[in-house]
A = this chain, B = another copy of it.
Amino acid sequence: MTAETRAPRPMRADARRNYEKLVAVATESFLANGPEASLDEIAKRAGVGPGTLYRHFPNREALLDAVCVQWADSVAADAAPLLSAEDPTAALSEWLVRLVDHVGAFKGLASALLLSSERKHDTAWVLHHTSEELVERAKAAGGIRPDVTTSELMQLTSGITYACSNAKQSGKTVSAPERLIGLIMDGVRTR
């Protein structure tokens, strides 16, 4: 389940080149100018016409999604070591903190997508899937309450990512992610 394997039919060589260039340029652009960055401008900087951009990505959301999927893959990779940690509950907690940090570093671009648990947005799916494994392991070890679902945890976490990434941009101070995730974990831990 990586970005590359998701294309249904093989693209023509030039099409694939343009696709990849567009995603690369878009990533820079969104990071620099936020999710409102001009699409025509992105096309120009990628050396293609607007028509090409809109054929690959019918709307801004689609492009944003493609950018996020690539990012999500890299974030998910970060979770791999945690899957075999000796304390699954601590690992879950650590993962959630990292997730918040990653989203913050990504300027909150992904936070809007984080909570949809359907496959609709692939970004969400990758991260949801990764979280699920960690949640299951923590449950199996009896560290967290069995009635808590991954979706619920993601919903709770999304607020923190949202708050923290917002705060970073507007220079406000909020409590540290560790602290907030800690509060959530206090609620879902078995006692």
A residues whose Cβ falls under 8 Å from a Cβ of B: 115-118, 120, 148-149, 151-152, 155-163, 166-167, 170, 172, 174-175, 179-180, 183-188, 191
A162 contacts B115, CB within 8 Å?
A: yes
User: How far does the alpha carbon of A185 sit from the alpha carbon of B162 in the complex, in Å?
Assistant: 20
Contact A151/B175 with A160-B156, A191-B191 known, Cβ cut-off 8 Å: yes
Identify 19 residue pairs between A and B in the complex whose beta-carbon atoms are under 8 Å apart, listed by A's number: A115-B163, A115-B167, A115-B174, A118-B172, A120-B170, A155-B159, A155-B160, A155-B163, A156-B159, A156-B183, A156-B184, A158-B159, A159-B163, A183-B187, A183-B188, A186-B187, A187-B187, A187-B188, A191-B191
User: How far does the alpha carbon of A155 sit from the alpha carbon of B88 in the complex, in Å?
Assistant: 26
User: How far does the alpha carbon of A175 sit from the alpha carbon of B117 in the complex, in Å?
Assistant: 12
B115 contacts A152, CB within 8 Å?
A: no
Choice from B118, B170, B187 contacting A185 with Cβ under 8 Å: B187
- Closest chain B CB from A116 CB (angstroms): 6
- Closest chain B CB from A164 CB (angstroms): 8
Contacts of A160 in B (CB 8 A): 155-156, 159
User: How far does the alpha carbon of A117 sit from the alpha carbon of B171 in the complex, in Å?
Assistant: 12
User: How far does the alpha carbon of A122 sit from the alpha carbon of B179 in the complex, in Å?
Assistant: 26
Choice from B118, B158, B166 contacting A163 with Cβ under 8 Å: B158
